[in-house]
A and B are shown apart, each in its own frame.
Chain A
Amino acid sequence: MTLFMQALRFSSSRLPFICRRSRTYSTEAGAIERVISAFRSVSGDEGVSVGSAVREQHGRDESAHRCRPPDVVVFPRSVEEVSALAKICHHHQLPIIPFGTGTGLEGGVGALQGGVCFSLRKMDQVLDLHQEDFDVTVEPGVTHRGLNSYLRDTGLWFPVDPGADASLCGMAATSASGTNAVRYGTMRGNVLNLEVVLADGTVLHTAGKGRRPRKTSAGYNLTSLFVGSEGTLGIITKATLRLFGIPESMVSAVCSFPSVQSAVDSTVQILQAGVPIARIEFLDDVMINACNHFNKLSYAVTPTLFLEFHGSSKNMEEQVSITEEITRDNGGSEFAWAEDEETRGRLWKARHDAGYAALALRPGCKAYSTDVCVPISRLPQIIVETKEDLIRNNITGHVGDGNFHCLIVLDPNDPDEVARVHSFTERLVRRALAMDGTCTGEHGIGLGKRALLREEVGPLAISVMQGIKATLDPKNLMNPGKVL
């Protein structure tokens, strides 16, 4: 609470046009009672909940931030209901917090000032698939694994895959990325159009209603504005996504290295060699040890690269042999291979379970994950320096795009440990910023990195962002207390 109040004072003293009426609305109990019957008339009795279990469920995500439950959770079934509910909130000055799957990692769904959580899971249709055009439109309740399952007969897939089975619209809101980003890009490049409900209930189509050209140069890029806005500019109710063909062949390999430097050097060289690698993941020795224990594997406990190649069977051989040559030159071990679906799944499960594996090392603790991203050439330096700075934690990450995560297992009830982790994170981010990087590669700013955002983009850019926020949400109702 103290941290938040400090940040609020900090930002509001600099920028007078930010609405100062951002007090706790929820203490006005009467306000909530009055609107609940209005909500019920829009979404039905089952579409509104004030139960404490439901509210708590919607006040937390998968980060270590503590639960901040909203005052009420609504479950709209259509964009018309979202708009009607938003109008009610706007009239009564109630904060609006959009909620997809609650799998975020930066505390983005916490209702810091109470208010209304819009849980969008009932809007779960895949609409408008255009196979020949490689695009599809989805509602917020559709997750990326759900979409790929829907698409499985078509030969198409949506490759952006953050670790969790997240809502695609939520992924758009946080500009999510995944292990495949080095080849297929992040949400930024793969969202063609969005339908967004603004704080006053206006329904906006960022690229024009129903439009889905593969590229355009028409007007200001509103789609990109909302991608990564983390619910602070509007509620995303539809996303039109770019699909890709499922590659004919996918081959995964694991290679261990004598040192962090050699592993990361290999990464840089693989990319410079122009290998269209689909995934390069780096796990340090502590992480590998955790994965070994958790998944009963027996990888060598040294820095390791998990690699994946996509392509036709013919160009697979070429990609693999170039890569093997590079890793061998850097002292890497023999490749451990996997080609069929099952074995590849097992290989990658180790990486995807990294979070849980780390938690299993210290039962009863929480996992705190922080991620930064730097230009690839600086990756070896930052990882080595960060390793030296580490106390007792783990590094894993998608090194292919310069992105790496530090997974720290901490006891949230030990204030000393929490403080040490907090200062470690700040040092890490400052190190990344000093190397022309960013304070978050894919997790977003959420609750914890707002001051770091200011350091990264500078006060001028922040005031431009504040201006845009004030234009789209003058009452500051959309997910207050996040990002800015």
Chain B
Amino acid sequence: MSGRVLVGVKRVIDYAVKIRVKPDRTGVVTDGVKHSMNPFCEIAVEEAVKLKEKKLVKEVVAVSCGPQQVQETIRTALAMGADRGIHVEVSGKDYETLGPLQVSKIFAALAKKEQADLIILGKQAIDDDCNQTGQMTAALLDWPQGTFASEVSFEADKLKVVREIDGGLETIKINLPAVVTADLRLNTPRYATLPNIMKAKKKKIANVKPADLGVDVCSRLEVLKVDEPPQRQAGVKVETVEDLVGKLKEAGRV
């Protein structure tokens, strides 16, 4: 067991930004818009760093796929306590069409190359809401998966994961190596402090190309158009119950 954990961190538009659709409806406006680490990825990094602090794992490696700017996101992970980073360079058209299938192929290849024991990812990204990368990565590696984790602990040589499901909480025990995806209540991520940001500048980020990992990032999907959600219509006040029923019938609701 190498004691190595890979953590995926995705650079997304900050959750507090008001999203605007591009006039040509091919996507959303990203120029000049604040970006930050996907909140679920922050939780994943926090969990990995906590495991290292408890001496249950030895090394935390933060991985991000994208253009030059994703290095900022990796640096944030390093400031939170990750030991080193890997920047998988994907830019231009390839980056615009980068999705869970290609990313999971990249992670699977990296997991083998780095001999990782554990991969922790956020359960989904707040821009595409796919919720697929963790599951696909586990399938490609033929590893067990503990998704929507709200609690992770080691029991002997297995991983105990408490999962948030519709009906409540499900507890499973899975063999290592494994893939875990972090849900909201797994932990509260720490803030990167200035001293730690300074220290993080000295940590190494390796550059890798998808081709070096034998991964083809060509997308099988084509985005046809992107639209804003329909505008909310104003409500109508009615005077009597009869009016209300009449209006409901008109709208085909009754």
Contacts and interface: CB of A to CB of B under 8 A. Distances in A.
A153 B37 contact: yes
Nearest to A129: B34
A157 B188 CA distance: 17
Nearest to A150: B16
A327 to B, nearest CB: 27
Given A146-B16, A154-B192, A248-B193, 13 more contacts: A152-B36, A152-B191, A152-B192, A155-B191, A155-B196, A156-B194, A245-B193, A246-B193, A247-B193, A248-B196, A312-B195, A340-B188, A342-B187
13 contacts: A146-B16, A152-B36, A152-B192, A153-B36, A153-B76, A153-B192, A155-B195, A155-B196, A245-B193, A245-B194, A246-B193, A341-B189, A342-B188
B16 A155 contact: no
Contact of A150 (B14, B188, B191, B194): B14
Interface of B: 14, 16, 34, 36-37, 72, 76, 79, 187-197
Instruction: Report, nearest first, the 5 A-B pairs whose CB atoms are least far apart.
Output: A155-B194, A245-B194, A155-B197, A341-B188, A246-B193
Given A150-B16, A153-B76, A246 B191 contact: yes
Interface string A309-352: 00010000000000000000000000000001110010000000
Contacts of B37: 153
Nearest to B35: A153
A314 to B, nearest CB: 11
B123 to A, nearest CB: 19
Contacts of A245: 193-195
A265 B196 CA distance: 37
A247 B195 CA distance: 8
A272 interface: no
B192 A155 contact: yes
A155 B188 contact: no
Contacts of A146: 16
A341 B190 contact: yes
B234 to A, nearest CB: 11
Given A246-B191, A342-B188, A345-B188, A149 B197 contact: no
A150 B34 contact: yes
B191 A157 contact: yes
A327 B76 CA distance: 39
A155 B195 CA distance: 8
Interface residues of A, number: 18
Given A146-B16, A150-B14, A248 B188 contact: no
A157 to B, nearest CB: 7
A150 B195 CA distance: 19
A450 to B, nearest CB: 38
A155 B193 contact: yes
A341 B16 CA distance: 21
Nearest to B80: A153
A154 B187 CA distance: 21
Contacts of B76: 153
A192 B72 CA distance: 29
Given A153-B76, A155-B79, A246 B14 contact: no
A245 B37 CA distance: 20
Contacts of A247: 193
Contacts of B188: 340-342, 345
Contacts of A246: 191-194
Nearest to B18: A124
Interface string A247-261: 110000000000000
A329 B196 CA distance: 37
A153 B75 CA distance: 9
Nearest to B37: A153
Interface in A120-178: 146, 149-150, 152-157
Contacts of B14: 150
Contacts of A341: 188-190
Nearest to A343: B188
A341 B189 CA distance: 8
A190 B189 CA distance: 27
B195 A248 contact: yes
A157 B191 CA distance: 10
A330 to B, nearest CB: 33
Nearest to B189: A341
A92 to B, nearest CB: 30
Contacts of B193: 155, 245-248
Contacts of B191: 152, 155, 157, 246
A149 B194 CA distance: 15
B159 to A, nearest CB: 22
A146 B191 CA distance: 14
A152 B197 CA distance: 11
A149 B42 CA distance: 13
A150 B191 CA distance: 11
Contacts of A345: 188
A20 to B, nearest CB: 43
A248 B191 CA distance: 9
A345 B72 CA distance: 28
Contacts of B197: 154-155
Nearest to B75: A153
Determine which residue in B36, B72, B189, B191 has the highest number of CB atoms from chain A within 10 A of its CB, and name it.
B191
A246 B79 CA distance: 12
Given A248-B195, A248-B196, A312-B195, A149 B190 contact: no
Determine which residue in A154, A157, A312 has the highest number of CB atoms from chain B within 10 A of its CB, and name it.
A154
Contacts of B79: 155
A154 B196 CA distance: 10
B165 to A, nearest CB: 23
B231 to A, nearest CB: 12
A341 B80 CA distance: 13
B98 to A, nearest CB: 22
A137 B219 CA distance: 42
A149 B187 CA distance: 17
A247 B188 CA distance: 17
Contacts of A153: 36-37, 72, 76, 192
A157 B76 CA distance: 15
B211 to A, nearest CB: 30
Determine which residue in B79, B193, B195, B197 has the highest number of CB atoms from chain A within 10 A of its CB, and name it.
B193
A245 B189 CA distance: 17
A156 B194 CA distance: 7
Contacts of A312: 195
Contact of B16 (A149, A156, A248, A342): A149
A248 B193 CA distance: 6
B12 to A, nearest CB: 13
A342 B47 CA distance: 13
Contacts of B194: 155-156, 245-246
